[in-house]
Structure 1
Amino acid sequence: MHAKLAILSTVISLAGSAYAWGADGHQAVGFIADSLLKPETKAVRDFLLPSGWNFTRSATWADEIKSDPTFKWASNLHFIDSHDVTPLDANETNPVKCSVDLARDGENGVNVVDAIGNYTLRAADAAKYNWDARSEAVKFLSHFVGDITQPLHACGKLLGGNQFFTTWEGNQTYVYNGRTSKFQLHVLWDVYIPQKDVNENFGGNWVAYRQFLLDNIEKGEWAQEKDTWLQCNPTTSPTGNPDQCPLDWATDSNEFNCGVVWDKALLAGTGTSTANDLAGEYYQKTYPIVRKQIAKGGYRLAKFMDIILAGQPASNSTTTTSIATTTQSATATSGTTSSIATTTQPAEHTSCSTTSTITVTVDPTETATPSYPKPTTSPTPIYSAASPLKAVSSILFAVVAAAGVAIF
C-alpha cells in the first residue's frame, strides 16, 4: 500500500490533479462555510487564520503547500484508498460492492478520515496546542472536509481514477502549468465537470455558482435534506469514536463509485481507458452530483467549526472553557467559562455514562500570527493509529454527537 500511495503522489504531482474540486471548488466549500458560521465562530476563525483570511481562502492552502518539501508528509492525507468492486470490475461471481474500512484501507492512520479526526483535537484544544498548531489544524480541516466529499478521494481503483484515461470535449490531453497530460477520470471530477457546469449554466462565474449552492442549502432544493448530511452512525462506547463522522462522510462519497462514477455503459467497457467523450452523457449525469457534494462539504464545515471552535478565545486574552459530557441535555453558561453537556449514550448504555470535564485555558503569551506557511516538523504523533490523541479527541466527538440533529 505504501508503494501505491507513493505512486499516486507522483501521478498527482505530474498531472496537476487531485486538487479535489480544484481551487475554485474548494473556495466554494469555504465560501458556503463562511456564510453559515455563527458570529462567534467567525471571530475565532479570524483569530486562528492569518490576517485577512477566511475559510474561502484557507480551503486551498493544503493544496498550495504540496510543492513545499516541508509538507511532503501531508501528501497522502487528502484521500483514502477503498477496495471496491466497481461496475467495471463486477461479474457473475463478484458483484458490485463499495465500502470504506479503516482497518483495511486506512494505511495506519495516514488518510483523510484519520486526518480529520486528529486535526479536530488540535483545533479544539487551546490548552494543549498553541496558536501555530491550532491555526495549521484549522487550515487543514477547511480543506480536508472538502476533499472527503469528492468520490474519487474515497476510491482506490486505478489510483482514484488517476490511471483511467479518457476524452473530454474532443481532446485526450490537457495542459496544466505548461505540462501536457492525458485526461484522467480523476481530473474530470476535480476540475473539468464543475468548470463545464459553471461555464454553461453560470456564465463562467464561480461567484454565481457558489451563491447558487448556498441558496439551495438555505431555501432551495436541499433545504429539507441538508441536516441528513450531518448524521453519523451511533457509537457504542461512552466516549464515542473520533473517526466516525469522517468515516461516514467518506462512505457517503464512496457509494458513488458503485454507481455513476464507474458506470460501465458510460465508460464503454473495462480496462484503463475509454474512447467515449465524457463531456456528453457522462457529464450530464455527474454535474448535479458534483454540485451537491461541494454543497455538503461547505455545510458540514460550517457546522463542524461551530462545534469545535465553540468557546475558544478570539484574541490572546486568557479565557477558560469547559466541555462536559453528562446525561443531561445540552446547556451553556455565560461569561468567560462555557460548557456543553450532552448525553453520551442511548438508554441501553446508561450504565456506561459518566460525567467528565475538560478545562481549557488559553495562554495569553501565545505567539502572534506566524509567517506563512508555518511548517509542522513532527507529524508522526498526529497520525499514528495508536495515537493517544484519539482517546482525548473522542470526548469531543461524544459532545458533538448529541449537540445537533445527530452529529454536526
Structure 2
Amino acid sequence: MNFSYLFIILLLFINNVLSYGYVGHQITASIAQKFLLPKVREHVRELLPKNANGNLYPIASWADRVKFTPKYRFTSRMHYITAPRNNPPDSCTVIYTPGKIDVLNAIHNYTNRLDPKSNLDFWSRAEALRFLVHFLGDLHQPLHVAAKFRGGNGAKAIFEGHKTTLHYIWDSRLINKHIRELGYKFTFSDDIANNFYDGPFFEPYVKYIINLMKTVWKQEVAEWAVCNEEVEYIFEKETQELLKPNSILFENNNKQTHFEVNSRREKEKYSLNKKQTSVSCPEFWAVPLNRLNCQIVWKDYIPDTELSEGIYYERIKRTRIVEKLLAITGIRIAAVLNSLLG
C-alpha cells in the first residue's frame, strides 16, 4: 500500500471518528468526570470496563454503537423526542408523556436502574451507566428534541464546502471546526489509536470549555443542574470553591452574549409542576433546549446553503452555544451521578 493511499484512508478514518456520536459525547463525559465526588468516581470506576482505565468518556458513545444490534434495537427510539406542533423557527414545544419511548423517559428509566437501591445485578447497572451518560448527551443536542425533518436529518446543507445535513452539522461539524480553530494538529504516530480513543486530542477543547466555566459563566454554573428545591446536587469542595461567584481565577472582560437556561424567569415559566420520577429532570431541561431550535438552530437556515460562514455561523460562534451546551451536559451528568451514587 503506497503512502498516498494510506493517507486517504486515515483522512476518512478521522472524519468518521470526529462526530458528535463519538467526540461530543466523550467531551461531555470528560467534563463530567472532573466534577465527580471521589466516592462517586470510585463507584463509577467499578462499573466501567477494564480497558476504560477508570475514565468515563470511553463508554460515552456506546449506546450509538449498539442501537442497531438485535439485542438493543429497541433503544433506537430513545435517542430523541418527537414533539407535535413543533415547527421551528416559528414554534418550539416539548410535551412530556410519561411512559412514552423517547429520550426523556429513557433518562428517567436508566437513572432509576443505575440507582444502587434498584438491587439490579452488576451488568444491568453498568449498562444503565452507559445509556444514561449517552442519553443526557443526546438531550443537549437541540435537534434531538426537534421533530422537524427528522431532527434535521432531512434538512440539506453545506458546511465548509461539503454537502451534509443540519443534524450532522450540530452533531459533528461544528465541534470539529472549533477543535481545529484551537490549533489542534493531527499526528500520524504509531499509537494513532490511542491518540483518538484515549482522549488527548480533545483535551485542549475541554480545557477551553472549563476556562469559560471559570470566567464567563462562573455565576451560572451552580444552577445548571437545578431541577427544583427538593433535589440537591453536590460537588467536590474544590469545585464549590471554583464556582463561587466571587472567586477570581481568571481575568476576563469579554461580555459576549450567551443564552441562559436556568434564570429565575425561565424556572418560573417552564416549571412543569410534575412529580419527579428520578433524580434527573429531563422534561424540565428539554424545554429551553428545544427553544434553541427557534432561537439559533433553525433561525436563518436556508436549504442547500453554506452554513460555516456568514450570519448563521457567526451567531453560533459569538454566543459560544456549542461550548455551553457541552459544558451544561457535563455538569448535569456529574450532578445526576453525584446525587445518585454519592
Q: Same fold (TM over 0.5)?
A: yes
CA distance in 2, matches of 1:199, 1:127: 43
State the Cα distance separating 1:284 from its structure 2 match. 2.3
Does residue 297 (structure 1) correspond to residue 292 (structure 2)? The answer is no
Q: Which amino acid aligns with 1:231?
A: V
Identity %: 32
State the Cα distance separating 1:45 from its structure 2 match. 0.2
State the Cα deviation string for residues 130-186 of structure 1 (Å, max 9, x = none).
1111111011111111111000011000100000101112222xxxxxxxxxx1100
Correspondences of 1:6-405 after superposition (within 5 Å): 21-53=20-52, 54-83=55-84, 84-87=86-89, 96-103=90-97, 108-126=99-117, 128-172=119-163, 183-204=164-185, 205-217=201-213, 219-232=214-227, 240-242=276-278, 245-263=281-299, 266-268=300-302, 274-281=303-310, 282-287=312-317, 288-310=320-342
State the Cα deviation string for residues 8-63 of structure 1 (Å, max 9, x = none).
xxxxxxxx99x982311111001001111110000100111222423211111111
2:34 aligns to what SS in structure 1?
helix
CA distance in 2, matches of 1:118, 1:21: 23
State the Cα distance separating 1:244 from its structure 2 match. 6.9
TM-score, with length taken from structure 2: 0.72
Instruction: List alignment gaps of at least 5 residues for structure 2.
Output: 1-14, 186-200, 229-270
TM-score, with length taken from structure 1: 0.61
CA distance in 1, matches of 2:127, 2:133: 10
State the Cα distance separating 1:267 from its structure 2 match. 2.1
Structure with greater strand share of residues: 1
Distance 1:70 1:169, change over 3 A: same
State the Cα distance separating 1:255 from its structure 2 match. 0.8
CA distance in 1, matches of 2:24, 2:60: 9
Whether the 8 Å contact between 2:60 and 2:130 is mirrored in structure 1 is: yes
CA distance in 1, matches of 2:286, 2:176: 23
Whether the 8 Å contact between 2:67 and 2:73 is mirrored in structure 1 is: yes
Distance 1:236 1:148, change over 3 A: closer
CA distance in 1, matches of 2:58, 2:288: 26
State the Cα deviation string for residues 173-207 of structure 1 (Å, max 9, x = none).
xxxxxxxxxx1100000000111111113425422
CA distance in 2, matches of 1:65, 1:244: 24
Distance 1:171 1:48, change over 3 A: closer
Whether the 8 Å contact between 2:79 and 2:144 is mirrored in structure 1 is: yes
Moved more, 109-118 or 67-76: 67-76
Q: Which amino acid aligns with 2:285?
A: W
CA distance in 2, matches of 1:187, 1:236: 34
Q: Which amino acid aligns with 1:199?
A: R
Whether the 8 Å contact between 1:145 and 1:301 is mirrored in structure 2 is: yes
Partner of 1:341: none
CA RMSD of aligned residues (A): 2.3
Whether the 8 Å contact between 1:20 and 1:153 is mirrored in structure 2 is: no
Distance 1:207 1:242, change over 3 A: same
Whether the 8 Å contact between 1:20 and 1:146 is mirrored in structure 2 is: no
Which one has a bigger Cα radius of gyration?
Answer: 1
State the Cα distance separating 1:308 from its structure 2 match. 0.6
State the Cα deviation string for residues 226-285 of structure 1 (Å, max 9, x = none).
122112256757x6443971112211210111111111xx323xxxxx232011122222
Greater RCO structure (CA 8 Å; 6+ sep): 2
Distance 1:55 1:244, change over 3 A: closer
Paired residue total? 264
Partner of 2:253: none
Distance 1:20 1:192, change over 3 A: closer
State the Cα distance separating 1:286 from its structure 2 match. 2.1
CA distance in 2, matches of 1:251, 1:125: 29
